[in-house]
Structure 1
Amino acid sequence: MAKQFGKTWWGQEWLLALNNIDYSNRLPRGSSYARKGAVKQIRIDGNHIFAEVAGSSPFPYKIDISIPTFDNDKIEIFLEAVELYPMIISRLLNRELDPLLLRLAQDAGLRIFPRQWTDLTMYCSCPDRAVPCKHLAAVIYKLSEEIDNNPFLVFELHLLDLIAELNKRGSFISRKAVEIPQLADFYIENKKRKAFL
């Protein structure tokens, strides 16, 4: 059975950036690349996603995707609204995003999830000038897996540490309660396993 991307509603929202675009089947090919392990490395640094994707070149293609950051005034409006709904915070403790959270963000003028590929700034070192190419699409698909597992990542990619900000306001969300292994941990673990095979 083919691996499914976007298993949660928030993972699906992330993938909406890929909707309504398809340059000569690059999206299905990107999905196939992600499934077959062509994404060799992903590193998140602030609101930048750096990755390496294997392709027809002897060397992996370099990927750089940047996510827009949020305006501080809008963050403040958003957080004040979230505080009024304790059920949102309790669902966050279970690593779930309440759909109301998305509405509150939109009301505050924050776009948590991209609506189209132009909402992201993307670059790939491959010769294909289409954006997104299949290598970029592969990374976006792969990231949907991590977002499925860690909904806090969608905020962190906009440089908003939701746990820290809610804790400043007295919510007291323990990081241990919501701690999830980082993407890099899985890649490092895989490399260790291969060394012992």
Structure 2
Amino acid sequence: MSRVFEPFPATHAARSFARTWWGKAWVGAVEDVSLDSKQLRRGRAYARRGHVGAILVEPGRVVATVRDASLEEFRAAVSVEQLTDAQWDRFGDEVAAKSGHLLALLDGEMPAELVESAAAADVPLLPTFGDLEPECDCDAWEIPCVHAAALAYQVSWLLDTDPFVLMLLRGRGEDALVGRLRTRVAEPTDDDWRGDDAAEAYAREPAPLPRWEFAPAYQRGEDVPPGPGIDPDAMRRLVASAAARAADLLASPG
């Protein structure tokens, strides 16, 4: 369960990092642990100049080969803790709580409301201070080194366009996660099966009856005229017809 992204081409423009709020959260987590802003500046320059090779994203970490100014290559990685099965179940509950959450994810968006509610349920999607662990096989002592910083900055570009990159880093691939989330969204909740409680239903204030626009306009206390009587001649004809029909039935052989 992994994804490989082609190298970003070099750009001479001062391309910014992390245009989305969740991408900025990633960059913030990278920069918060750095004690050397020089390494970060060099890492941004390496990222813009295309010094980072193909990026491998797998559960728990992202890996790439990064070239330095002398074209020497180093293997850099950034690791993050994976979510547990129980945390993924709680994340599914948060997605199912609002149908628009899944649609937003499929549309390449990361709803802030979803991230906040997930965090409240102890499901940290976005990394914060100390959550990211940069690694590199160079001999630099800085954390992150220029190579790991360059990789981390390019990952923010991936996150900007595809929030499922973050989900994969946290331990779930897109296909499996979306399939499970679709099932959770479609599942009826306990409230759906329960229906209305009888006590609650009877305790509700009755809704007003609709106005009958064709009701006679009588005032309160006014005598209401009696309804139309029965026509005696018509009644006699009905009785006579019924009696004749009954006599015919009795006279008919079994």
Report the TM-score when normalising by structure 1.
Answer: 0.79
State the shift of 1:167 in Å: 2.4
Calculate percent identity across the aligned residue pairs: 29
Question: Is contact 2:35-2:142 (8 Å) kept?
Answer: no
State the shift of 1:147 in Å: 0.6
Candidates 123, 134, 138, aligned match of 1:110: 123
Question: C-alpha separation between the residues in 1 aligned to 2:81 and 2:70?
Answer: 30
In the alignment, structure 2 segments of 5+ residues that lack a partner are 1-12, 187-254
Q: Counterpart in 2 of 1:52?
A: 65
Question: Is contact 2:57-2:165 (8 Å) kept?
Answer: no
Candidates 24, 31, 35, aligned match of 2:48: 35
State the shift of 1:88 in Å: 1.3
In the alignment, structure 1 segments of 5+ residues that lack a partner are 172-197
Candidates 133, 139, 146, aligned match of 1:121: 133
Q: Counterpart in 2 of 1:168?
A: 183
State the shift of 1:78 in Å: 2.1
Matched to 2:161, the amino acid is N
Question: C-alpha separation between the residues in 1 aligned to 2:58 and 2:103?
Answer: 28
Instruction: State the structure with more CA Rg.
Output: 2
State the shift of 1:114 in Å: 1.5
Aligned residues: 171
Question: C-alpha separation between the residues in 2 aligned to 1:97 and 1:83?
Answer: 15
For residues 6 and 159 of structure 1, do their structure 2 counterparts lie closer, same or farther at Cα, with a shift above 3 Å needed? same
Question: CA offsets per residue over residues 149-176 of structure 1, 9 Å max, x none?
Answer: 10111111111243132023255xxxxx
Q: Counterpart in 1 of 2:17?
A: 5
Q: Counterpart in 1 of 2:225?
A: none
Question: C-alpha separation between the residues in 2 aligned to 1:58 and 1:89?
Answer: 43
State the shift of 1:137 in Å: 0.7
Q: Counterpart in 2 of 1:19?
A: 31
CA RMSD of aligned residues (A): 1.9
State the shift of 1:24 in Å: 5.0
Question: Is contact 1:75-1:108 (8 Å) kept?
Answer: no
Question: CA offsets per residue over residues 23-53 of structure 1, 9 Å max, x none?
Answer: 1511111111100111123212332211111
